[in-house]
Structure 1
């Protein structure tokens, strides 16, 4: 039975609430504008930048973002009030780099050659709400290298090797050690891959571990592409190697998404949840620590790369999804230092 896409998410500012889309443009770096911005806590007095994510900074869950053609609007939903009518912070989706200061930041050991500070206006707005110094950073023309074996499998790169061009040939040049920086695969401020795919079949299994009136929401898993899992058992995605969407767009699923305490955060309070929803991570640890490369962390979802040669394509809600390749055993997490 064919699955279908039920939800599409984009997160222009990493760690803030996601935006649901009816359709999405997808390229080598994933959904357009996904995680091109990121917040960093400024440590005092040395000014060191510390990454801000939901696990370490659960207050990030209180920020709602919406996207138009040219700008991003952000609202702070203060606990207990959640005023959606407040004046939002407006951020250009594609800032003029010539007006910004270059900085260097690091995420998961994969540092771009440069990123850009968005400036005092934005830093002060976020700092006032977090109540400590915060810097908003735009990746711009910075590029984070893909580390470990989260790259698409070598045999699936071969067609691009033969043509000698395109995104997958860029991946091959990276694997073989060529020095051309422009041809290395790269990502934005996504964790380790351009896309994250999850299945509602597995979500139902998670919710079954909770009280009936407290189902687990999918948004806490922060995926890009959600499929309904029709015809697939819970956790079948552990072995998915390739998905074909609308009979023409292929995704290579290359690694498991290992989970952290962000699953336990209450998005209404910006704090760890109370009750059963505050112990979701522990519940999954009982039987979902299935990746030998990260044996203490449970798995939910698969990281993916578009299987093209640099072209873009559009995904829509309701698009049909087929599993066109399966692994015979689970992949092993090996991103250095994670």
Structure 2
């Protein structure tokens, strides 16, 4: 079986529910519409599902005017793309930048999340550079954690689920890929092959594989209920532990020579252009 793009996913609001797409445009900072919105607290600090689990239950959809967000027990919220002149300071990990404030969402979010919250829109993704440790000086990223795209593979999930099922003696349900919130999922490659990739072509786009993805508590939350558990971190700690972290998936940076978006589609061919010898594990920080 040749390597193919098995599925494409985007997440309109950081930490909220994603959507599967038949195709998506790859922009220099990620898939079009991916994580251009984010929820922050009253000080502009990013709120994520790590600490605010109900964010996972928000169901956002991109509309012609902006965004529609649904949540259990609440009326849907329609939000227009805010005026880019309404900038407020925001902070996401080590990134400090500004984003446009959609004030009409504040009260609704506060009710749904049970805490003060504001919705912001990244009108200009060129404001946020990718970590210089792993990327080129002109690389940019949306409100994703650190890199424009995340790739996972179906074979790696199957290998992980084998361990989960053995550890639980068959009592644990197989984990869905939605736990890991990838943008692109590749079929037809061996388990953990993505660890070794350094350059890969998906459809008509070349990507640099720049860093493995260390996994956090969000993967232990059921995307449908936001309830927590021990998996997959417990099993990853058995088979995928390096440098005090557990790893699943690889971060990608697109190389678009003229900066223009290029569309990728489910079923596109995947070609590994450059790889290292297997066995070293994911690309990790140099200690």
The TM-score with structure 1 as length reference comes to 0.77
Select the residue among 228, 244, 257 that pairs with 1:296: 244
Tell me which residue corresponds to 1:242: 199
Instruction: Note the 1:89-100 alignment, pairs <5 A.
Output: 89-92=77-80, 94-98=81-85, 100=86
Distance 1:187 1:200, change over 3 A: same
**Is the Cα–Cα contact under 8 Å of residues 5 and 319 in structure 1 kept in the other structure?**
yes
Larger gyration radius, structure 1 or structure 2? 1
Select the residue among 201, 208, 229 that pairs with 1:252: 208
* Structure 1 residues 39-59: Cα deviation after superposition (integer angstroms, max 9, x where no partner): 1133xxxxx343211222111
Distance 1:51 1:205, change over 3 A: same
Unaligned runs of 5+ in 2: none
2:131 is equivalent to residue 147 of structure 1: yes
Tell me which residue corresponds to 1:122: 105
Distance 1:68 1:49, change over 3 A: closer
* Structure 1 residues 286-336: Cα deviation after superposition (integer angstroms, max 9, x where no partner): 12123xxxx12111111101122212100111111121210245522369x
| Higher normalized helix content (fraction of residues) | 1
Name the CA distance, whole Å, in 1 between partners of 2:72 and 2:7.
Answer: 23
**Is the Cα–Cα contact under 8 Å of residues 164 and 231 in structure 2 kept in the other structure?**
no
**Is the Cα–Cα contact under 8 Å of residues 30 and 149 in structure 2 kept in the other structure?**
yes
**Is the Cα–Cα contact under 8 Å of residues 39 and 47 in structure 2 kept in the other structure?**
yes
Tell me which residue corresponds to 1:6: 6
**Is the Cα–Cα contact under 8 Å of residues 111 and 145 in structure 1 kept in the other structure?**
no
Select the residue among 71, 77, 97 that pairs with 1:76: 71
Instruction: Note the 1:23-172 alignment, pairs <5 A.
Output: 23-42=23-42, 48-78=43-73, 87-92=75-80, 94-98=81-85, 100=86, 102-112=87-97, 114-119=98-103, 121-141=104-124, 143-151=127-135, 171=136
* Structure 1 residues 88-119: Cα deviation after superposition (integer angstroms, max 9, x where no partner): 21123x43324x2x21111121222x222211
* Structure 1 residues 200-232: Cα deviation after superposition (integer angstroms, max 9, x where no partner): 11010121123456111111101111111x1x2
Deviation, structure 1 residue 16:
0.1
Name the CA distance, whole Å, in 2 between partners of 1:224 and 1:322.
Answer: 17
Distance 1:16 1:323, change over 3 A: same
CA RMSD of aligned residues (A): 2.0
**Is the Cα–Cα contact under 8 Å of residues 220 and 263 in structure 1 kept in the other structure?**
yes
Deviation, structure 1 residue 77:
2.5
**Is the Cα–Cα contact under 8 Å of residues 29 and 141 in structure 2 kept in the other structure?**
yes
| Structure 1 stretches of at least 4 aligned residues deviating more than 4 Å after TM superposition | none
Q: Which secondary structure state, in structure 1, belongs to the residue aligned with residue 245 of structure 2? A: coil
**Is the Cα–Cα contact under 8 Å of residues 179 and 222 in structure 2 kept in the other structure?**
no
Q: Which secondary structure state, in structure 1, belongs to the residue aligned with residue 111 of structure 2? A: helix
Q: Which secondary structure state, in structure 2, belongs to the residue aligned with residue 50 of structure 1? A: coil
* Structure 1 residues 112-131: Cα deviation after superposition (integer angstroms, max 9, x where no partner): 2x222211x20111100111
* Structure 1 residues 252-287: Cα deviation after superposition (integer angstroms, max 9, x where no partner): 1111110011111122332314xxxx3321210112
**Is the Cα–Cα contact under 8 Å of residues 5 and 318 in structure 1 kept in the other structure?**
yes
Name the CA distance, whole Å, in 2 between partners of 1:73 and 1:244.
Answer: 33
Tell me which residue corresponds to 1:283: 235
Distance 1:69 1:334, change over 3 A: farther
Name the CA distance, whole Å, in 2 between partners of 1:204 and 1:271.
Answer: 23
Name the CA distance, whole Å, in 2 between partners of 1:334 and 1:314.
Answer: 34
2:198 is equivalent to residue 215 of structure 1: no
